[in-house]
Amino acid sequence: MSVFADRRQAGRLLSRVLEKYTRDPCLVVLALPRGGVPVGFEIATRIGAPLDVFVVRKLGVPGHEELAMGAVASGGVLVRNKELIHELGISDEVIDLVEADEVEELVRREQLYRAGRPPLEVSGCTVILVDDGLATGSTMRAAIAGLRQRHPRRIVVAVPIAAASTCRQIGALVDDMICAVTPEPFVAVGLWYDDFTPTSDDEVRQLLGQAQNRPIHRSDTEAQSRG
């Protein structure tokens, strides 16, 4: 039933489809923690791109936290669903309280993961947003909206596994959408991995540290195009 052994093997397979971007002179891989980081690490290593996390925290409606009235994301990005907020009559005071809590958690995670390193600059770059899979796609939608505020040149979403309908919907929001496998029926992301053990904070820190310390090797084709 499963398609992938684990997240890192999924990343290695997905990287083959992303090799076409190795010629891009400004290429960045941003992984959604925690599960997207092992996938993103393998992709970044194989296509010769720097790796960073893009932390996203949904702003849940109080009492209905699964319903997102907005999101905060890495780099101080804030997105609000103005239509939903207006429809539900949510006050500014309530929004501010929820935002404050989620910003605090986002900052805590960024400090934990990056160990003092600043976020990568993505303005004018092709950014590959990576996760370990997409079910409803709500977190990825928030990530895309947040990332746009940092002015990348192109946004590419790449995931090993996704529900077909979600892949189509997310694809309409970005410049390129790569879903390696879209099985039907989909059921859940973890069903398609032999090992879907939760990625720990320590593993995220370790992989980001390894990515930071390794040299970036880009293709000869890209080197010629820049020469």
Contact 160, 181 (CB under 8 A): yes
Statement: 7-53+118-214 belongs to CATH 3.40.50.300? no
Selected from 3.30.460, 3.30.1310, 1.25.40, 3.30.70, the CATH number assigned to the domain covering 58-113 reads 3.30.1310
> What phi and psi, each to the nearest 5 degrees, are found at residue 126?
-85, 125
Exposed e or buried b for every residue in 64-94, given b needs 16+ CB within 10 A?
A: eeeebbbbbbbbebebbbeeebeeeebeeee
- In the chain, the percentage of residues whose pLDDT exceeds 90 is 67
**Nearest residue to 132 (alpha-carbon basis) of 61, 49, 199:** 199
What is the pLDDT averaged over residues 180-186? Answer: 92
Residue 217 pLDDT class (50, 70, 90 cuts): low
- Asked if residue 85 has pLDDT above 50, the reply is yes
Average pLDDT estimate for 2-12: 94
pLDDT above 90: residue 163: yes
User: What pLDDT, in 10s, does the model give residues 117-137?
Assistant: 888 999 999 999 999 999 888
Q: Give me the chain's average pLDDT, please.
A: 89
Q: Global pTM? A: 0.85
Q: Where are the domains of the chain?
A: 7-53+118-214, 58-113
